[in-house]
Chain A
Amino acid sequence: MTTTRAPSGTSPRPAVRVVLVDDHRMFRAGVRAELTEAMAAAGGAAACEFVGEAPDVDTAIAVIRAERPDVVLLDVHLPGGSGNGGADVIRGSYGVETDAGAPVRFLALSVSDAAEDVIAVIRAGARGYVTKTIGARDLITAIRRVADGDAVFSPRLAGFVLDAFGAAAGEIAEVDEELDRLSAREREVMRLIARGYQYKEVAKELFISVKTVETHVSSVLRKLQLSSRHELTAWAMGRRLL
């Protein structure tokens, strides 16, 4: 476990400091190896740097408080804690800030498809949700994005969101600020992400900038975290989740 920062080298920005939380040692080692390999293949300075790892809730909170990383890669199911584990780590790390003064951000990384898991970690404050089958390069992109405070949606999460907000059934918010529905634009963005589009492809398709796409996705994330839409509950209930 090293706490020194990697030299920024030719990269205009320092490497993203990452803590990896997962109860399977094999998986942690695998992610590290895969990402290191991918970054080496890409050449130049490392895009991210592993500063710590933890196998359970209590260790994770301790490591996060000590290291104050930019991004925590977080498994949703962990030993310890009162919930499933992932959400407990996020709640236990509220208020921890990095050296730069940004909050520690969480990217959920899971094998689970269960909506319950997605909703739990997102509502606890995770900035994104990707499945463990994600490729190394996509994962690096996702980590960078989360470090910048943007949201990361996998196609599956986008599908969940469309279902949960009734957007697939045609429910559209009249005003963007409405928490319980997606706006027409947000729905379009979610649909494209569900179709497997990258952010820049979404931007091209809708003739908007990538930054605007990121804004829309963050706004959807906020709605997902704050909405008290009863369907979120009903929907989870329908899948025997609550």
Chain B
Amino acid sequence: MPTPFEPAAAHPRAGMPPRPEVSGPPRPPLVRARGRGWTPGVCAAIARHLGLSPKAVRWSFVILTAFGGAGVVAYAFLWALTPEGDVVDDGTGQVAVASDRRQWGSLILIGAALVLVGGVLVLPILGGSLIGSVLLPLFTIAVGAIVAWSNLDEAQRSRWLESGTGPNRFGWMRVALGVGLTVTGILVIVTRGQSFSAVWDALLAAIAVLVGALIIAAPWAMRLWGDLRREQVAAARATERADIAAHLHDSVLQTLALIQRQSGDAAAVTRLARAQERELRTWLYDGPQGSQSTLAAAVTEVAHEVEDLHGQVVDLVVTGDRPYEPHGAALTQALREALLNAVRHGRAPVTAYVEIGPSGVEAFVRDRGTGFDLDDVPADRLGVRQSILGRMERHGGSARVRRRDDGTEVELRLPPLQGDQP
């Protein structure tokens, strides 16, 4: 959706890296980046959402502020209403870390300091009374509240309040600073023009009342708190149970229905049962799967694929792991070919062992068939020669086919990655 505000996206200027901006209809959601910046990130969020330059948005807020403080009000409003979330950078696909927010935050701090200094300088001129007794404390309260709540906001308030894993030391410092500023401001307002002893008495009385209220309210508050926690736990458990039920329905029950329908076809039943077993096993023991970019994951996937294709069990054992790269990919493909050969020509059980270690990768595929000799394989059969031997050699590895008394064993080897051993 091109708008006049995003010329850079439409025509990236030569020599300049194109800015990661909105390049078409799904707009990025209006979320504030979860990060460690100093500001809540409202401007950046709006800029991301609308596809504008963050600088432009910030300046418009500053300009708006000149009109009776509308900018500040709008900022606070948006801060309160915009949810936090992980922001994915269009350009890199990475979760963006708001580095520019940090700079912006320091700018705000400098600005606040300047205002403070200015206020102090102007104070005597305006005759002290008004600014010194009302405006300055109010300003202090505001700054304190912002400093304290900005931290809570970052830590997702509720989570910070209830969990034992509190904010870091820096976070505590910010809370303390904020609370200190606020309390000081309130005290200054309340005690203006009174003697110290009177203030002290008032303070003591106030503290006494507060403590009394606390003692009275404590059991009730604790019970309320406990109930809330219990409810939360129960809700979480119910959700979990619903998830499990949904998963079992989607997978196991469906498979069982399929099995009943195909009960005459033994091969199909075995295949279905095996695939379902594997899926359930993965779900039970491996937890949620993230991005599968390791060699072990790739190898496992290939073995499962072969199982599904031929309905024969492949007993795969993998030890160690390393990132998935072209050499590993070649080994994975060669392994796939070897497994296919084993399930096609060999007899069960087909076993595979992949050892990924600092001295390289070794993979073994074993079947109990009659076996074959490489020399007996006709030259026009490309399966073993090209897919296994040739592929491994092209990637600096080796492959060997061993004929054993009761079957064949294919061995694949890869040298260590360059980073592993110099």
Q: Residues of A with Cβ closer than 8 Å to B?
A: 112-114, 133, 135, 155-156, 158-159, 162-163, 168-170, 191, 194-197, 201, 239-240
| Nearest neighbor of A133 in chain B, beta-carbon distance | B313
Residue among A162, A168, A169 with most chain B CB within 10 A: A168
Sample (19) of A-B pairs whose CB atoms are under 8 Å apart: A112-B285, A133-B313, A135-B349, A155-B315, A156-B317, A162-B355, A163-B320, A168-B319, A168-B320, A194-B317, A194-B319, A194-B353, A195-B351, A196-B315, A196-B351, A196-B352, A196-B366, A239-B285, A240-B287
Binary contact track B271-292/A, C-beta < 8 Å → 1, others 0: 0000000000100110100000
State in angstroms the CA–CA spacing of A163 and B352 once bound together: 16
State in angstroms the CA–CA spacing of A170 and B358 once bound together: 7
Nearest first, the 7 A-B pairs at minimum CB distance are A196-B351, A159-B317, A168-B319, A195-B353, A194-B353, A195-B364, A168-B320
Is B359 positioned at the interface, with any CB of A under 8 Å from its CB? yes
Q: Is the CB of B353 within 8 A of A159?
A: yes
- Given contact pairs A112-B285, A194-B319, A239-B285, a sample of 7 additional A-B residue pairs in the complex whose CB atoms are under 8 Å apart: A159-B318, A159-B319, A168-B319, A170-B358, A194-B353, A195-B353, A197-B366
Given contacts A162-B319, A195-B366, A196-B366, contact A168 B356 (CB under 8 A): yes
| Nearest neighbor of A112 in chain B, beta-carbon distance | B285
Given contacts A155-B351, A159-B353, A196-B349, contact A169 B317 (CB under 8 A): no
State in angstroms the CA–CA spacing of A135 and B348 once bound together: 11
| Nearest neighbor of B318 in chain A, beta-carbon distance | A159
| Nearest neighbor of B366 in chain A, beta-carbon distance | A196
Give B224 Cβ to nearest chain A Cβ, in Å.
33
Give A163 Cβ to nearest chain B Cβ, in Å.
5
**Residues 338-359 of B at the A interface (beta carbon under 8 Å):** 349, 351-353, 355-359
State in angstroms the CA–CA spacing of A194 and B409 once bound together: 13
Question: In the assembled complex, which residues on chain A have CB atoms less than 8 Å from the CB atom of B351?
Answer: 155, 195-196
Give B102 Cβ to nearest chain A Cβ, in Å.
34
Question: In the assembled complex, which residues on chain A have CB atoms less than 8 Å from the CB atom of B357?
Answer: 168-170
Question: In the assembled complex, which residues on chain B have CB atoms less than 8 Å from the CB atom of A114?
Answer: 284-285
| Nearest neighbor of B313 in chain A, beta-carbon distance | A133
State in angstroms the CA–CA spacing of A196 and B316 once bound together: 9
Give A191 Cβ to nearest chain B Cβ, in Å.
7
Question: In the assembled complex, which residues on chain A have CB atoms less than 8 Å from the CB atom of B320?
Answer: 163, 168-169
Question: In the assembled complex, which residues on chain A have CB atoms less than 8 Å from the CB atom of B349?
Answer: 135, 196
State in angstroms the CA–CA spacing of A240 and B286 once bound together: 9
State in angstroms the CA–CA spacing of A113 and B316 once bound together: 12
Give A99 Cβ to nearest chain B Cβ, in Å.
36
Residue among B318, B353, B404 with most chain A CB within 10 A: B353
Q: Is the CB of A163 within 8 A of B353?
A: no
Q: Is the CB of B359 within 8 A of A170?
A: yes
State in angstroms the CA–CA spacing of A93 and B315 once bound together: 33
Question: In the assembled complex, which residues on chain A have CB atoms less than 8 Å from the CB atom of B284?
Answer: 114
> Which residue of B281, B355, B364, B409 is within 8 Å of A168 (Cβ)?
B355
Q: Is the CB of A163 within 8 A of B319?
A: yes
Give B408 Cβ to nearest chain A Cβ, in Å.
12
Question: In the assembled complex, which residues on chain A have CB atoms less than 8 Å from the CB atom of B313?
Answer: 133
State in angstroms the CA–CA spacing of A195 and B284 once bound together: 25
State in angstroms the CA–CA spacing of A79 and B374 once bound together: 53
Q: Is the CB of A155 within 8 A of B317?
A: yes
State in angstroms the CA–CA spacing of A197 and B351 once bound together: 9
Question: In the assembled complex, which residues on chain B have CB atoms less than 8 Å from the CB atom of A112?
Answer: 285
Question: In the assembled complex, which residues on chain B have CB atoms less than 8 Å from the CB atom of A240?
Answer: 287
Question: In the assembled complex, which residues on chain A have CB atoms less than 8 Å from the CB atom of B319?
Answer: 159, 162-163, 168, 194
Question: In the assembled complex, which residues on chain A have CB atoms less than 8 Å from the CB atom of B359?
Answer: 170
State in angstroms the CA–CA spacing of A197 and B409 once bound together: 11
Give B17 Cβ to nearest chain A Cβ, in Å.
40
Binary contact track B197-235/A, C-beta < 8 Å → 1, others 0: 000000000000000000000000000000000000000
Binary contact track B377-388/A, C-beta < 8 Å → 1, others 0: 000000000000
Q: Is the CB of B285 within 8 A of A191?
A: no
State in angstroms the CA–CA spacing of A195 and B285 once bound together: 23
Question: In the assembled complex, which residues on chain A have CB atoms less than 8 Å from the CB atom of B285?
Answer: 112-114, 239
State in angstroms the CA–CA spacing of A33 and B364 once bound together: 34
| Nearest neighbor of A168 in chain B, beta-carbon distance | B319
Q: Is the CB of B358 within 8 A of A196?
A: no
Question: In the assembled complex, which residues on chain B have CB atoms less than 8 Å from the CB atom of A196?
Answer: 315, 349, 351-353, 366
Question: In the assembled complex, which residues on chain B have CB atoms less than 8 Å from the CB atom of A201?
Answer: 404
State in angstroms the CA–CA spacing of A133 and B351 once bound together: 13
Give B146 Cβ to nearest chain A Cβ, in Å.
40
Give B350 Cβ to nearest chain A Cβ, in Å.
8
| Nearest neighbor of B368 in chain A, beta-carbon distance | A196
State in angstroms the CA–CA spacing of A168 and B363 once bound together: 12
State in angstroms the CA–CA spacing of A163 and B356 once bound together: 10
State in angstroms the CA–CA spacing of A159 and B315 once bound together: 12
Question: In the assembled complex, which residues on chain B have CB atoms less than 8 Å from the CB atom of A169?
Answer: 320, 357-358
| Nearest neighbor of A241 in chain B, beta-carbon distance | B285
Q: Is the CB of A191 within 8 A of B366?
A: no
Residue among A159, A196, A197, A239 with most chain B CB within 10 A: A196
Q: Is the CB of B358 within 8 A of A191?
A: no
Give B166 Cβ to nearest chain A Cβ, in Å.
24
State in angstroms the CA–CA spacing of A194 and B281 once bound together: 20
Question: In the assembled complex, which residues on chain B have CB atoms less than 8 Å from the CB atom of A113?
Answer: 281, 285
